[in-house]
Amino acid sequence: MALLVDAHGRTIRDLRISITDRCNFRCLYCLPETEEAADFFRSSLKSDSRPIYREWKPKSHFLSYEEIARVTGIAAALGVNKVRLTGGEPLLRRDVSKLVEQLAAISGIKDIALTTNGFSFLNNAVALKKAGLNRVTFSLDSLDSNNFKRLAGKEALKEVLKSITRAKELGFSPVRINAVIIRDMNDHEIVPLAQFALDHGLGIRFIEFMPLDSRKAWQKIHVVAGSEILKILQTKFDLEPLGLEHASATAKRWRIAGGKSEIGLITPVSEPFCGQCNRIRLTSDGKLRTCLFSLEEHDLKPQLRERVDDEVLSQWLHDVVLKKEIGHRIGQDQFQRPDRTMSAIGG
């Protein structure tokens, strides 16, 4: 069957799979349910910041590993060659290495990556490597233990740093860190985070704060634009511009002169990169999303549970991809937040 191509001529190559919406962190930009987060939003917005409580969901609510592998296999036959496992925190699901092993066996899948907060990585690292995981990205928004706790809602910096070291030891390549920058919270750590990446031979991605927090307290005043981050970095480092990693890459890249570390800026708010987007997302409960900010989801789970054949599922994927949005509208009057937040959508 033909490749997955949307109505705007973009060929889908990248599948982001959220395997759980649970998380053991409460990051300010995602699940801000801590006292520190409430204080920050209350002081900046004078808003109500009471905790949000989520109902328990049965195991059947979520896709099984076998269902995820089946969808990935069908997508691979239609041209998808990259998979990233996300959450919530993906390592809260048991035996993630078994899923990685299934995905690694699929013809056409060339790259399997994982985004994690790192807290449980040490216990899973060897099994994940043996199963075929190629790359790992850690969320690391602060190098100061107190500020880390304010941002992540958990005292876990030591565990995350140990996990990063272990990933390097095991030969994952590249090992990257993601840092979401929020004004007046961690914008003073931009240079230290870049220096940490340089010292440890890591890639780093600085990400603009996006309107996907469960508190729905995001405002543009909290966003530190990529151009501002770049100016701050240029005061400390000699940066050598790099081209895009590939045509559909999300990050503008630079190399720190004299080292191997690469800095990337992901700027969905100030400089959207939708034009070449080649990604679709599968949520843990079986919804296909054609954009991180989609207002519409496409329910794949009934197709899987009713045991329709692969040809029918392939056609279903083609039909959904044709509806892929030309882009999001952050910052425009027409912009609407999706009902679901980052923890439920997957990064």
Q: How many CA atoms lie within 13 A of 324 on its CB side?
A: 25
pLDDT of residue 305 exceeding 90, the answer is: yes
Which band of pLDDT confidence, cut at 50, 70 and 90, is reported for residue 52? very low
The b-or-e profile of 120-158 (16+ CB within 10 A means b, else e) is bbbebbeebbebebbbbbbbbbbbeeebbbbbbbbebbe
The full set of domain ranges for the chain reads: 14-345
Helix (H, G, I), strand (E, B) or coil at 78: coil
Radius of gyration in angstroms for the set of CA atoms belonging to the chain, rounded to a whole number: 19
Enumerate residues 6+ apart whose C-beta is below 8 A from 149.
36, 155, 156, 157
CATH code of domain 14-345? 3.20.20.70
Cβ pair 124, 166 in contact under 8 A: no
Q: Would the pTM of this model clear 0.75, i.e. be above it? A: yes
Residue-averaged pLDDT of the chain = 87
pLDDT of residue 48 exceeding 50, the answer is: no
**Quick one: average pLDDT of 303-315?**
93
Cβ pair 138, 118 in contact under 8 A: yes
pLDDT at position 47: 47
Give pLDDT tens digits for 1-19: 799 999 999 999 999 999 9
Q: Which residue has the higher pLDDT, 52 or 191?
A: 191
What 8-state DSSP symbol labels residue 98?
Answer: H
**Quick one: average pLDDT of 13-38?**
79
pLDDT at position 247: 59
Give pLDDT tens digits for 237-274: 999 999 766 655 678 999 998 888 999 999 888 876 66
**Quick one: average pLDDT of 80-108?**
97
Q: How far apart are CA 24 and CA 44, in angstroms?
A: 25
The helix/strand count (H/E) of the chain reads as: 11, 12
Euclidean distance between the first and final Cα of the chain, in Å?
A: 29
pLDDT at position 251: 82
Min mean pLDDT across 28-37, 86-95, 185-194 is at 28-37
Residue 275, Ramachandran bin (φ over 0: left; ψ between -120 and 50: alpha; else beta): alpha
Which band of pLDDT confidence, cut at 50, 70 and 90, is reported for residue 204? very high
